[in-house]
Structure 1
């Protein structure tokens, strides 16, 4: 029988750049729309750093890089075309990062409650998770439409924990970019940051409690955070 040493703890995960390498399909949709508009495709390595900022930021980047009218990129009609195309191709090339499934299974075996806290719309998040057979691991998927404030607000994380039936005082955020780190600070939660995500600035400048180079390192990072938590609690006793 597995040791249930994570009973009572909730682990929140960002989606894009943390659980899933979704850049191929997001950039693919961007480039199809640019070509339809008679513009050159964006360079994938430049566009992927903006994924955490949302589809509108991706569109603006693509138009700006092509020397086109950025105001056109901000139109609601183009945004809707982006969503339609992306929905149709949401899991063509997107894949869970190596070690995700095994790590999630081990955390659950140890008693952790798992949830997703993402700025990606909830229906798109659940569709992507379903297509990759990841949805089964999470008790809640909290996109910005299901909470009172999106990341970087700590309210997003606290409400995601509540949706999963957990306690925000015993929760850990795992993400890859500034909104994750800032939301964790705002919620007074420890934060683990990946170095393989989509942040446009160096991840070591974001103030995460632990940096990890591979998803398999999530479990060790959580163990370290919990050890520090219980030491502090013992010293206060």
Structure 2
């Protein structure tokens, strides 16, 4: 029988680059927008670092890489076309990283509340996770449109945890980029950094508490946090 030793704890996950490898579909949509505008496409290889700041930032970075102006990338009709195209192709190639399904199942079986806190729009996040059969793992899926701020503001994490029914004082963030570590610091939460994700900043420089090279290692990193906390409590009680 699995011990429910994580009851009372909430684990908040970023989406793109943490739970799901999404860059092929996102960059695919970006390239179709570039072709539509008569611009050269960006190579799929190496374009993953364009991911992470949302659709508008992706368009701006992509159009800049193609030699176009920022004004070209910020037209409302272009953004609308990007979203419509991405919805149509949202899970053509996107897949959960190895170990995601199994690890989420184990954490839930141990009593943890799981939620998603992403800068991706909530409806797009729900559509993606639903297409991949991952929705069942999460109490809530929270994009910036459902809270008062977006990462790296810690309010995003705190409000997402509360919406999940958890306590921000007993929560851990799992992410892959600066908005995740910044939000965790602002919220006073420990942060596990997945080194395989989407960040132009080296993972070691993001300021997380611990780094993991594969998603399956997230569970042992959580156990490490909790063991350290129990030791601190025991030391305080003995002083």
If the length of structure 2 is used for normalisation, what is the TM-score? 0.97
Q: Please state how far the C-alpha of 1:164 moved relative to its aligned partner.
A: 0.7
Partner of 1:38: 38
Partner of 2:112: 112
Partner of 1:164: 164
Q: Map of 1:114-193 to 2, 5 A cutoff?
A: 114-193=114-193
Partner of 1:57: 57
Cα separation, 2, equivalents of 1:121 and 1:208: 24
Q: Map of 1:11-30 to 2, 5 A cutoff?
A: 11-30=11-30
Q: Please state how far the C-alpha of 1:47 moved relative to its aligned partner.
A: 2.7
Q: Please state how far the C-alpha of 1:235 moved relative to its aligned partner.
A: 1.8
Partner of 1:233: 233
Cα separation, 2, equivalents of 1:62 and 1:143: 22
Instruction: Answer yes or no: is 1:96 the counterpart of 2:92.
Output: no
Contact 2:50 2:62 in 1 (8 A): no
Cα separation, 1, equivalents of 2:155 and 2:65: 35
Partner of 1:76: 76
User: How many residues in Structure 1 have an aligned counterpart in Structure 2?
Assistant: 237
Q: Please state how far the C-alpha of 1:179 moved relative to its aligned partner.
A: 0.4
SS of the aligned residue for 1:116 comes to strand
**RMSD in angstroms over aligned alpha carbons?**
0.9
Q: Please state how far the C-alpha of 1:236 moved relative to its aligned partner.
A: 2.0
Residues 123-168 of structure 1, C-alpha deviations (whole Å, 9 max, x = no match): 0000000000000000011110110111001111111110111111
Cα separation, 2, equivalents of 1:28 and 1:122: 21
Cα separation, 1, equivalents of 2:63 and 2:163: 38
SS of the aligned residue for 2:107 comes to helix
> Displaced runs of 4+ in structure 1, greater than 6 A?
none
Structure 2 unaligned spans of 5+:
none
Cα separation, 2, equivalents of 1:62 and 1:19: 23
Q: Please state how far the C-alpha of 1:69 moved relative to its aligned partner.
A: 2.4
Cα separation, 2, equivalents of 1:26 and 1:142: 19
Q: Please state how far the C-alpha of 1:44 moved relative to its aligned partner.
A: 2.1
